[in-house]
Protein backbone atom coordinates (compact mmCIF):
# COMPACT_ATOMS: atom_id res chain seq x y z
CA UNK A 1 0.00 0.00 0.00
CA UNK A 2 1.34 3.41 -0.90
CA UNK A 3 1.83 6.08 1.75
CA UNK A 4 -0.88 8.22 0.16
CA UNK A 5 -3.41 5.38 0.45
CA UNK A 6 -2.24 4.62 3.97
CA UNK A 7 -2.97 8.22 4.95
CA UNK A 8 -5.96 8.99 2.71
CA UNK A 9 -8.10 5.98 3.60
CA UNK A 10 -8.26 6.73 7.35
CA UNK A 11 -8.86 10.40 6.57
CA UNK A 12 -11.75 9.54 4.27
CA UNK A 13 -13.16 7.02 6.73
CA UNK A 14 -12.98 9.33 9.76
CA UNK A 15 -16.12 11.31 8.88
CA UNK A 16 -18.15 8.11 8.74
CA UNK A 17 -16.96 6.70 12.04
CA UNK A 18 -17.47 10.01 13.87
CA UNK A 19 -20.77 10.81 12.13
CA UNK A 20 -22.17 7.33 12.71
CA UNK A 21 -21.19 7.39 16.39
CA UNK A 22 -23.00 10.73 16.71
CA UNK A 23 -26.05 9.27 14.95
CA UNK A 24 -26.06 6.34 17.37
CA UNK A 25 -25.94 8.67 20.37
CA UNK A 26 -28.82 10.73 19.01
CA UNK A 27 -30.73 8.06 17.12
CA UNK A 28 -34.16 9.42 18.05
CA UNK A 29 -33.39 12.89 16.68
CA UNK A 30 -31.71 11.47 13.61
CA UNK A 31 -34.68 9.14 13.04
CA UNK A 32 -37.06 12.11 13.02
CA UNK A 33 -35.00 13.70 10.22
CA UNK A 34 -34.77 10.36 8.40
CA UNK A 35 -38.50 9.60 8.50
CA UNK A 36 -39.42 11.40 5.25
CA UNK A 37 -36.87 9.29 3.38
CA UNK A 38 -37.40 5.99 5.20
CA UNK A 39 -41.17 6.20 4.81
CA UNK A 40 -40.66 6.23 1.03
CA UNK A 41 -37.66 3.93 0.80
CA UNK A 42 -38.81 1.07 3.06
CA UNK A 43 -41.92 0.13 1.00
CA UNK A 44 -39.83 0.13 -2.19
CA UNK A 45 -37.21 -2.14 -0.64
CA UNK A 46 -39.82 -4.46 0.83
CA UNK A 47 -41.59 -4.62 -2.54
CA UNK A 48 -38.25 -5.67 -4.06
CA UNK A 49 -38.01 -8.45 -1.48
CA UNK A 50 -35.38 -6.84 0.73
CA UNK A 51 -36.18 -7.48 4.39
CA UNK A 52 -35.73 -4.11 6.12
CA UNK A 53 -37.18 -2.86 9.41
CA UNK A 54 -39.86 -0.19 9.17
CA UNK A 55 -38.89 1.77 12.28
CA UNK A 56 -36.77 4.84 11.32
CA UNK A 57 -34.75 4.66 14.54
CA UNK A 58 -33.80 1.04 13.86
CA UNK A 59 -32.81 2.00 10.31
CA UNK A 60 -30.67 4.87 11.61
CA UNK A 61 -28.92 2.51 14.03
CA UNK A 62 -28.44 -0.08 11.29
CA UNK A 63 -27.01 2.53 8.90
CA UNK A 64 -24.71 3.85 11.64
CA UNK A 65 -23.47 0.33 12.38
CA UNK A 66 -22.78 -0.27 8.70
CA UNK A 67 -20.92 3.04 8.43
CA UNK A 68 -18.80 2.34 11.50
CA UNK A 69 -17.89 -1.16 10.30
CA UNK A 70 -17.17 -0.06 6.71
CA UNK A 71 -15.36 3.05 7.91
CA UNK A 72 -13.07 1.03 10.14
CA UNK A 73 -12.48 -1.47 7.33
CA UNK A 74 -11.57 1.33 4.93
CA UNK A 75 -9.34 3.04 7.51
CA UNK A 76 -7.40 -0.15 8.19
CA UNK A 77 -7.19 -1.22 4.53
CA UNK A 78 -9.37 -4.31 5.00
CA UNK A 79 -11.44 -4.84 1.83
CA UNK A 80 -11.02 -1.16 0.92
CA UNK A 81 -12.89 -1.35 -2.39
CA UNK A 82 -15.88 -3.10 -0.87
CA UNK A 83 -15.95 -0.86 2.20
CA UNK A 84 -15.75 2.28 0.04
CA UNK A 85 -18.66 1.02 -2.06
CA UNK A 86 -20.72 0.25 1.04
CA UNK A 87 -19.99 3.70 2.46
CA UNK A 88 -21.01 5.35 -0.81
CA UNK A 89 -24.27 3.40 -0.87
CA UNK A 90 -25.03 4.19 2.77
CA UNK A 91 -24.31 7.88 2.27
CA UNK A 92 -27.02 8.35 -0.37
CA UNK A 93 -30.01 7.93 1.99
CA UNK A 94 -28.07 9.67 4.78
CA UNK A 95 -27.63 12.72 2.55
CA UNK A 96 -31.21 12.69 1.31
CA UNK A 97 -32.51 12.47 4.87
CA UNK A 98 -30.12 14.79 6.64
CA UNK A 99 -29.57 17.66 4.25
CA UNK A 100 -32.87 18.49 2.58
CA UNK A 101 -31.86 22.07 1.80
CA UNK A 102 -34.78 22.51 -0.61
CA UNK A 103 -37.17 22.33 2.37
CA UNK A 104 -35.39 24.96 4.51
CA UNK A 105 -37.19 28.31 4.82
CA UNK A 106 -34.41 30.25 6.52
CA UNK A 107 -31.80 31.39 3.94
CA UNK A 108 -28.89 30.80 6.34
CA UNK A 109 -30.17 27.30 7.18
CA UNK A 110 -30.72 26.58 3.47
CA UNK A 111 -27.14 27.62 2.69
CA UNK A 112 -25.77 25.44 5.51
CA UNK A 113 -27.77 22.42 4.41
CA UNK A 114 -26.80 22.95 0.78
CA UNK A 115 -23.11 23.01 1.76
CA UNK A 116 -23.50 19.78 3.74
CA UNK A 117 -25.48 18.19 0.91
CA UNK A 118 -22.76 18.91 -1.65
CA UNK A 119 -20.01 17.95 0.80
CA UNK A 120 -21.67 14.55 0.96
CA UNK A 121 -21.99 14.43 -2.83
CA UNK A 122 -18.23 15.09 -2.97
CA UNK A 123 -17.61 12.31 -0.45
CA UNK A 124 -19.68 9.93 -2.57
CA UNK A 125 -17.50 10.85 -5.56
CA UNK A 126 -14.34 10.16 -3.56
CA UNK A 127 -15.74 6.86 -2.35
CA UNK A 128 -16.61 5.84 -5.90
CA UNK A 129 -13.00 6.52 -6.90
CA UNK A 130 -11.77 4.56 -3.86
CA UNK A 131 -14.09 1.66 -4.66
CA UNK A 132 -12.49 1.35 -8.10
CA UNK A 133 -8.90 1.74 -6.86
CA UNK A 134 -6.95 -1.40 -7.73
CA UNK A 135 -3.73 -0.04 -6.21
CA UNK A 136 -2.03 -0.18 -9.59
CA UNK A 137 -2.89 -3.84 -10.14
CA UNK A 138 -5.10 -4.83 -13.05
CA UNK A 139 -8.79 -4.90 -12.25
CA UNK A 140 -11.18 -7.79 -12.84
CA UNK A 141 -12.41 -6.37 -16.15
CA UNK A 142 -8.87 -6.02 -17.50
CA UNK A 143 -7.96 -9.52 -16.36
CA UNK A 144 -11.10 -10.95 -17.99
CA UNK A 145 -10.35 -9.19 -21.29
CA UNK A 146 -6.74 -10.40 -21.09
CA UNK A 147 -7.83 -13.99 -20.40
CA UNK A 148 -10.25 -13.87 -23.36
CA UNK A 149 -7.52 -12.49 -25.62
CA UNK A 150 -5.07 -15.16 -24.47
CA UNK A 151 -7.70 -17.87 -25.01
CA UNK A 152 -8.38 -16.62 -28.57
CA UNK A 153 -4.66 -16.56 -29.32
CA UNK A 154 -4.20 -20.09 -27.97
CA UNK A 155 -7.25 -21.34 -29.90
CA UNK A 156 -5.77 -19.84 -33.07
CA UNK A 157 -2.45 -21.58 -32.44
CA UNK A 158 -4.19 -24.90 -31.76
CA UNK A 159 -6.26 -24.55 -34.95
CA UNK A 160 -3.13 -23.71 -36.94
CA UNK A 161 -1.30 -26.72 -35.49
CA UNK A 162 -4.28 -28.99 -36.17
CA UNK A 163 -4.45 -27.86 -39.82
CA UNK A 164 -0.71 -28.44 -40.21
CA UNK A 165 -0.92 -31.91 -38.68
CA UNK A 166 -3.89 -32.72 -40.95
CA UNK A 167 -1.88 -31.64 -44.03
CA UNK A 168 1.10 -33.72 -42.92
CA UNK A 169 -1.10 -36.75 -42.28
CA UNK A 170 -2.76 -36.33 -45.69
CA UNK A 171 0.65 -36.06 -47.35
CA UNK A 172 1.81 -39.31 -45.69
CA UNK A 173 -1.27 -41.18 -46.94
CA UNK A 174 -0.62 -40.24 -50.60
> 53-111 pLDDT, tens per residue?
989 999 999 999 999 999 999 999 999 999 999 999 999 999 999 899 999 999 999 99
For residue 22, pLDDT beyond 90: yes
Domain match, 78 and 128 both: yes
How buried is residue 110: exposed, middle or buried, by Cβ count under 10 Å (0-12/13-18/19+)? Answer: middle
What's the whole-number mean pLDDT along residues 104-127?
95
pTM of the model: 0.74
What's the whole-number mean pLDDT along residues 124-153?
86
Domain match, 83 and 162 both: no
Domain match, 70 and 127 both: yes
Domain match, 112 and 81 both: yes
pLDDT at 142: 78
Domain match, 66 and 121 both: yes
Contacts with 30 (C-beta within 8 Å, 6 or more apart), sequence order: 23, 57, 60, 98
For residue 1, pLDDT beyond 70: no
Domain match, 82 and 118 both: yes
Domain match, 145 and 90 both: no
Domain match, 17 and 103 both: yes
| Listed residue (64, 69, 66) closest to 25, CA to CA | 64
Domain match, 11 and 62 both: yes
Number of folded domains that form the chain: 2
Domain match, 124 and 146 both: no
**CA 150 to mean position of chain CA atoms:** 31
Domain match, 84 and 129 both: yes
Domain match, 126 and 145 both: no
Q: Domain range for residue 102? A: 3-137
Amino acid sequence: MTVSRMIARPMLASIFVVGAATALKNSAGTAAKADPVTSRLVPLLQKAGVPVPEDPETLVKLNAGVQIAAGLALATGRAPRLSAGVLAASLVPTTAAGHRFWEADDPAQRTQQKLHFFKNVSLIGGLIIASGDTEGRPGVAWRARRAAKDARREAGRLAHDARREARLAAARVH
